[in-house]
Amino acid sequence: MAQSRLKSNTDLGSAVADAEARFIASNPKSRARAEVAKASMPGGNTRTVLHYAPFPVAFTGGEGCRVTDIDGHTYTDFLGEYTAGLYGHSNPRIMATLRTVIDGGVTLGGPNVYEAELAHLLCERFASIELVRFCNSGTEANLFAMVTARMVTKRSHIMVMNGGYHGGVFYFGQHKPPINAPFPWVIARYNDIERTLSQIEAHAHELAAVVVEPMMGGGGAIAADAAFLQALREACTRHGIVLIFDEVMSSRLSSGGLQKKHGITPDMTTLGKYLGGGMSFGAFGGRHDIMQHYDPYRTGSAPHAGTFNNNVLSMAAGIVGLRDIYTAEVADTFNAAADAFRDRLNAIVTRHGVTMQVMGVGSILALHFVAGEIKRPEDTWAMDATAERRKADLHKLLHLDMMEMGQYFARRGMLSLSLPMGPAEFAAFESALDEFLTVRGPVLRAAVQ
């Protein structure tokens, strides 16, 4: 390897300090912007996951799979807008559609010519969805799915998985946030069939829904075992509980979501992210007998409001994305290439003998500084304050070093790939990770056993 841009250090603390000093020096405009933003937004931030220390870089634009920041750096975008950026930043078909739609006028305040086609495409693609309704985000989709389950079962409680994420007010990570929606939760352990089934038996009389991500996204790209999902399916059927698959992230992982890959059909599915073609999007759907409660022709139907539910931009871009770009064949080829990329990353890590592993399915990946098998988010959680600080430092070092090498992804180590990426982008990322592990190997090996 040629002389590395990264500076080698003997301990984690000084390595992080060096990386941070270089980051600050090379991002003066982003730093100034972050300061100005603090005057009108708490901490200068309006979306928690976009914050990282010492300050996030701010972007001026994006093209293909690249983003450019206000200090003039261009990054390959492995964040992929936390999976919403599947099509990249400037897909010509999506851009042309958006321009046409804008020229036709926005905020129409009535049904439009797009929504039924997008609904039809979603029903065709996701086996569990016989009828669907749109909303504005994955959070909203889950909120509506949960209250729908409570309405149809006339029960109160919702089972979720420890470490799961279903939106801004549905986060069940290590530190449960005080702003979670006040539903009566039953918190189960992901991939633990025995324990989860006994919780379902104990709460069956009051459980309206079991909500599960077939692959935990925010929890660390950790896939559910098919046997676990199948056990949930059977228990929910037995007790009349609504099984909800949150496929807001995982729906892109095959031509019909992970439900297709496993051949397991939930009662309801929630969707979001890329399915609006890069515009804001959410949807919840499921069995006809459940969803028909929202049929306004029925007496006593339930209301489901939302000013922008069928906004023309999301509907039209969503159609083009699903119908013309992310076809079933493309979904399968793309995820197979992504699986091979993840295998290569793990091979690089193994070659360096550092404690790190790359988890995920297809085009969603997460890098963890964890030694043992990861079956659930708890396996990645730090046990005490010292371990938590070390974990934060490791992720900060990885993140800042990789950004210096032009690779942008989430501070917590999450990557989601986009369609404009090809062998050149994958190879550049692999070689950047190789360089990081070469230069930082001694520090990493000393910090994590």
Ligand X SMILES: Cc1ncc(COP(=O)(O)O)c(C=O)c1O
Which DSSP helix (H) or strand (E) runs through 312?
helix 312-319
- Which listed residue (27, 76, 139, 357) binds ligand X by CB under 6 A? 139
Residues 242-281 interacting with ligand X (rule: CB under 6 A): 246, 248-249, 272
213 part of the interface to ligand X, by CB under 6 A? yes
Distance from chain centroid for Cα 60: 23
362 part of the interface to ligand X, by CB under 6 A? no
Q: How far apart are CA 51 and CA 48, in angstroms?
A: 6
Distances (CA, A) of 163 to 215, 219, 245, 378, 400: 12, 5, 15, 7, 26
Distances (CA, A) of 359 to 20, 27, 362, 414: 26, 31, 10, 9
Name, in order, each residue with C-beta under 8 angstroms of 95's C-beta and a sequence gap of 6 or more.
none
Backbone angles phi and psi of 33, in degrees to 5: -60, -40
- Which listed residue (56, 80, 85, 217) binds ligand X by CB under 6 A? 217
196 part of the interface to ligand X, by CB under 6 A? no
Rounded to the nearest 10 degrees, what angle do helices 328-352 and 423-447 cross at?
30
Judged by beta carbon, residue 271 or residue 405, the one nearer ligand X is: 271
341 part of the interface to ligand X, by CB under 6 A? no
- Which listed residue (33, 166, 261, 376) binds ligand X by CB under 6 A? 166
What residue number has its CB nearest to ligand X? 138
Judged by beta carbon, residue 235 or residue 249, the one nearer ligand X is: 249
> What's the min distance (Å) between Cβ of 281 and ligand X?
7
Query: How many chain residues bind ligand X (CB under 6 A)?
Result: 16
- Tell me which residue has tokens 């730090």: 382
> What's the min distance (Å) between Cβ of 166 and ligand X?
5
Q: Cβ distance 181 to 229 under 8 Å?
A: no
Give the three-state DSSP class for 345: helix
Judged by beta carbon, residue 216 or residue 319, the one nearer ligand X is: 216
Residues 108-137 interacting with ligand X (rule: CB under 6 A): 137
> What's the min distance (Å) between Cβ of 13 and ligand X?
32
Residues 32-71 interacting with ligand X (rule: CB under 6 A): none
165 part of the interface to ligand X, by CB under 6 A? yes
Q: How far apart are CA 144 and CA 273, in angstroms?
A: 16
The site for ligand X (CB under 6 A) is made up of 82, 137-139, 142, 165-167, 213, 217-218, 246, 248-249, 272, 282
